[in-house]
């Protein structure tokens, strides 16, 4: 049921179930069911079974003045609750009392409401795009057209228009942050989102270098795709911002970018074949070609020296500052992890040892498995069963070679880990939190992430690909075996 704070029912509140369904050891994710509340605020949903992890979400509603009102969850069975989300694991029976309480927001400036309206428009376009994409895009053009149909591209200029009309206000900076966030979730260069990202960065340099909240924008630059103006903005912020948290964020993101570039140079041989292997065309092929060219000219030794200098300043001047709002993690701790990752986690060198215990409390050392090829995968608890299924597949593919599998699983300790249909394979290490000490020390920026360690204990480049990493790992291990 959904109700207002005073107890009155909420009609036409949109409620959605999404989650992961286990099928033959694989997980299919996405929306499972959607409905709206009736005049009495009631709703019911029927979802497929069995379910591995399920999220119940309510999108909220608008009042007569068009003010967006979020839903707040109430449910004793939920492992997490709060604004717009309730999590259940697993959903083995009917869940009662999954209620939503809507509380009107206080009066907000007109510009804030307009930006909220733009975001809601993008969400509506994304739902439409998701529902119609398969019908709208012919199979033989799927690698060329999605970037043009992507709502993030369609909305990009709307956010830039909004920023221009409200320039200098906090809400205008928030609009540029939306542009940067949208671009960080795309994989193509030379799209509307990518071009507006360059424009957004230029506007940050021209109008917001001294803004107190610039750090929120800089933190959007710590993931792909890269554009040349990224470094210019980070460098200007380091030298020009009067706010310590902004300078600290710029230093941190700059080093994170350097770490990613070094990692990608190690993966360059994999990038040289990706275009042909997947028959990429148009924008997708240009994206890979541009990335490869940047990596070919990168001076890794100079990048490491630059990172060391930046980390030294970050620790000395801003080490006690928190990296994220309401977080106890300091820049000093993150700097230590980045320094370890850049200097120790290097392809072609011995894999660095860490003090690790597996899920049974037994100590683990990479050296104990010398003579075997080790497949090391960092994953989240919600895709752990899928990774285990992939490991079993790889074991079957390479049954003639000595293998050992190590899975470092990140996630909420309240959630019970699913082992998959064939159980765990090898060593499983549960960090018990998102980005625990091992993933932090290795500076893992996305999961699942897979490495291969050869039978002499040498770390090999990170395996390219998140959808079929085991196929790529098999090729790497076969190549190493042939060199013996």
Helix pair angle (300-318, 331-344), 10° resolution? 160
Tell me: pLDDT of 335 over 90: yes
Mean pLDDT, range 308-336, rounded to an integer: 89
Domain 2-102 architecture: Sandwich (2.60)
The larger pLDDT score, comparing residue 127 to residue 483, is at 483
Stretch 57-81: mean pLDDT, rounded?
49
- Of residues 346 and 80, the one with the higher pLDDT is 346
**pLDDT band (50, 70, 90) for residue 53:** very low
What is the pTM (predicted TM-score) of this model?
Answer: 0.74
pLDDT class for 371, splitting at 50, 70, 90? very high
pLDDT above 60: residue 142: no
Interval 380-391 mean pLDDT: 82
- Whether 91 has a pLDDT exceeding 50, the answer reads no
Query: φ and ψ at 406, to 5 degrees?
Result: -125, 125
The pLDDT tens digits of the residues spanning 187-222 come to 555 566 667 888 999 999 999 999 999 999 998 887
Q: Name residues whose C-beta falls within 8 Å of residue 121's C-beta, 6 or more positions apart in sequence.
A: 155, 158
Phi first, then psi, for residue 81 (nearest 5°) are -140, 170
The per-residue pLDDT for 130 is 65
Residue 459 has pLDDT above 90, yes or no: yes
- The answer to whether residue 145 scores a pLDDT higher than 50 is no
Check pLDDT > 80 for residue 297. Answer: yes
pLDDT in tens, 248-287: 999 999 999 899 888 888 877 766 555 444 444 555 566 6
The domain spans of the chain are 2-102, 110-341, 349-482
Out of 3.40.30.10, 1.10.240.10, 3.30.300.30, 3.10.420.10, which CATH number does the structure's domain 349-482 have?
A: 3.40.30.10
Give the dihedral sign, CA 193/378/402/366.
positive
The per-residue pLDDT for 226 is 63
Q: What is the predicted pLDDT for the residue at 349?
A: 92
* Mean pLDDT score across all residues of the chain: 76
Distance CA 30, CA 220 (A): 25
List, in order, residues 6 or more apart from 290 with CB less than 8 Å away: 189
Q: What is residue 422's predicted lDDT score, i.e. its pLDDT? A: 61
């Amino acid at each position: 049921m959904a109700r207002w704070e005073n107890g009155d029912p909420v009609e036409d509140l949109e409620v959605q179930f999404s989650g992961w369904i286990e099928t033959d050891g694989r997980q299919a994710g996405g929306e499972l069911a959607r409905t709206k509340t009736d005049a009495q605020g009631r709703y019911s949903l029927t979802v497929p079974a069995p379910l591995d992890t399920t999220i119940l979400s309510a999108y909220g509603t608008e009042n007569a003045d068009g003010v967006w009102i979020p839903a707040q969850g109430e449910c004793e069975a939920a492992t997490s609750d709060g604004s717009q989300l309730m999590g259940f694991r697993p959903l083995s029976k009917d869940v009662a009392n999954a209620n939503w309480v809507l509380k009107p927001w206080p009066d907000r400036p007109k510009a804030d409401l307009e930006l909220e309206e733009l975001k809601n428009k993008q969400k509506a376009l994304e739902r439409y795009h998701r529902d119609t994409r398969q019908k709208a895009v012919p199979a033989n053009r799927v690698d060329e057209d999605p970037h043009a149909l992507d709502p993030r591209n369609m909305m990009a200029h709307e956010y830039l228009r909004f920023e221009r009309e409200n320039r200098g206000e906090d809400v205008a900076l928030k609009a540029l942050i939306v542009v940067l966030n949208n671009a960080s979730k795309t994989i193509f260069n030379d799209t509307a989102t990518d071009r507006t990202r360059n424009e957004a960065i230029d506007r940050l340099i021209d109008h917001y270098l001294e803004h107190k909240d610039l750090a929120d924008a800089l933190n959007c630059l710590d993931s792909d795709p890269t554009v040349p103006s990224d470094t210019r903005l980070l460098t200007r912020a380091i030298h020009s911002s009067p706010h310590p948290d902004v300078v600290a964020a710029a230093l941190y993101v700059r080093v994170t970018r350097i770490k990613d570039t070094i990692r990608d140079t190690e993966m360059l041989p994999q990038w040289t074949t990706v275009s042909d292997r997947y028959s990429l065309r148009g924008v997708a092929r240009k994206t890979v070609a541009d990335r490869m060219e940047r990596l070919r000219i990168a001076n890794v030794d100079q990048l490491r020296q630059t990172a060391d200098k930046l980390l030294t300043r970050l620790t000395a001047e801003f080490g006690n500052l928190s990296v994220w709002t309401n977080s106890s993690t300091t820049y000093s701790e993150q700097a230590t992890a980045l320094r370890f990752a850049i200097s120790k986690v290097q392809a072609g060198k011995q894999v660095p040892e860490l003090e690790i215990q597996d899920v049974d409390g037994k100590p683990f050392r990479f050296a104990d498995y010398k003579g075997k090829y080790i497949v090391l995968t960092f994953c989240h608890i919600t895709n752990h069963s899928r990774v285990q299924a992939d490991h079993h597949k790889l074991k079957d593919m390479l049954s003639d070679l000595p293998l050992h599998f190590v899975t470092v699983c990140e996630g909420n300790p309240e959630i019970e880990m699913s082992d998959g249909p064939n159980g765990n394979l090898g060593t499983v290490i549960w960090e018990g939190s998102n980005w625990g000490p091992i993933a932090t020390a290795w500076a893992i920026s996305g999961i699942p992430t897979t490495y291969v360690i050869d039978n002499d204990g040498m770390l090999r480049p990170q395996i390219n690909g998140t959808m079929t990493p085991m196929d790529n790992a098999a090729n790497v291990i076969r190549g190493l075996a042939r060199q013996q």
